[in-house]
Amino acid sequence: MRFVGVIPARYASTRLPGKPLLKVGGKTLVQWVYLRALQSTRLNQVLVATDDERILRSVRSWDGNAVLTSDQHRSGTERVAEVAQGVEADVFINLQCDEPTLPPTTIDRVCGCFDGDPQVQVATACVPLQDPEAALDPNVVKVVTNSEGRALYFSRAPIPFAREGKASFFKHLGIYGYRRRLLQKLSRLRPSPLERIEKLEQLRFLENLIPIQVATVDEDSIGVDTQEDLERVRPFFENGSLIPSQRHTNVGAEGES
């Protein structure tokens, strides 16, 4: 099975303009994501998909693989779908360019969801939440799954609600895997009612009866969506530590915000 990692990178971020090219530890965010992806044992190829010549030139300046895509895409999923039209792979892994601390082992676990199970069409990852306050944070997206690890729902609210006693919470991580044949269908789906309410693209899949397999991992990741997030992530590259605290957020919406 051939896996290709695609990093959608949009320059015109609404909350942090030029985000892919912002630097921490001497490298841009998109370069860190690329380098982390290269450490995966499952990816056969890694490339950046962007709509901006500045990002394209930057990636190629450090010998990265990059392609120019349409500037009309509404989400990272649509950008990956365009790449899939010209790149051979069984599964495409959508790696968000604002997740520079995503562990390579998490990428491998998402790839592993497709091993020996042709019914798995979409896969993602989650990590147990240890901090009760993080479960209450709407910027930390939570997921609940069934006994087979299929997602039942994603929410910014603390799910499940503990009417009595305590509940275990799981944070959704910003990574997706898609089988090639499903990507074009996903890119044509219109935003769904629950997606509009929660601002979470993955709810569009569930509302259209597309199951999502969720791999539970041990290491967290930091989503960089604001200047504050950027400052929080700097120490992990300056002191060599890449095990982030769960108090950092991961918006987990469109993947190119």
Which of the pair, 229 or 124, is modelled with greater confidence? 124
Helix (H) or strand (E) holding 154, with range, is: strand 151-155
pTM, entire model:
0.91
Determine the Cα–Cα distance for residues 134 and 88; give it in Å rounded to an integer.
Answer: 39
Q: Summarize the confidence of residues 32-36 as an average pLDDT.
A: 95
More confident residue, 129 or 243: 129
Q: How far is CA 16 from CA 19, 49, 54, in A?
A: 5, 18, 16
Q: What is the rounded distance in angstroms from the CA atom of residue 228 to the CA atom of residue 33?
A: 19
Which pLDDT band, with edges at 50, 70 and 90, does 184 fall under? confident
Please give the average per-residue pLDDT across 156-173, as a whole number: 93
Using 50, 70 and 90 to split pLDDT, how confident is the model at 257? very low
Mean pLDDT of the chain: 90
- Give me the CATH code for the 3-238 domain, please: 3.90.550.10
What is the predicted pLDDT for the residue at 242? 54
157 has pLDDT over 90: yes
Report pLDDT for 253: 42
- What does the pLDDT average to over 188-215? 95
Identify whether the C-beta of residue 174 lies closer than 8 Å to the C-beta of residue 233: no
Q: State how far the Cα of 9 lies from the Cα of 76, in Å rounded to an integer.
A: 8
Question: Strand 212-216 to strand 142-145: parallel, antiparallel, or no bridges (unpaired)?
Answer: unpaired
Write down the H helix ranges in 131-201: 132-136, 180-188, 193-198
- Overall average pLDDT of the 142-168 stretch: 95
Provide CB contacts within 8 A for 132, sequence distance 6+.
none
pLDDT of residue 159: 96
Distance CA 33, CA 44 (A): 16
| 178: exposed, middle or buried (Cβ count in 10 Å: 0-12, 13-18, 19+) | buried
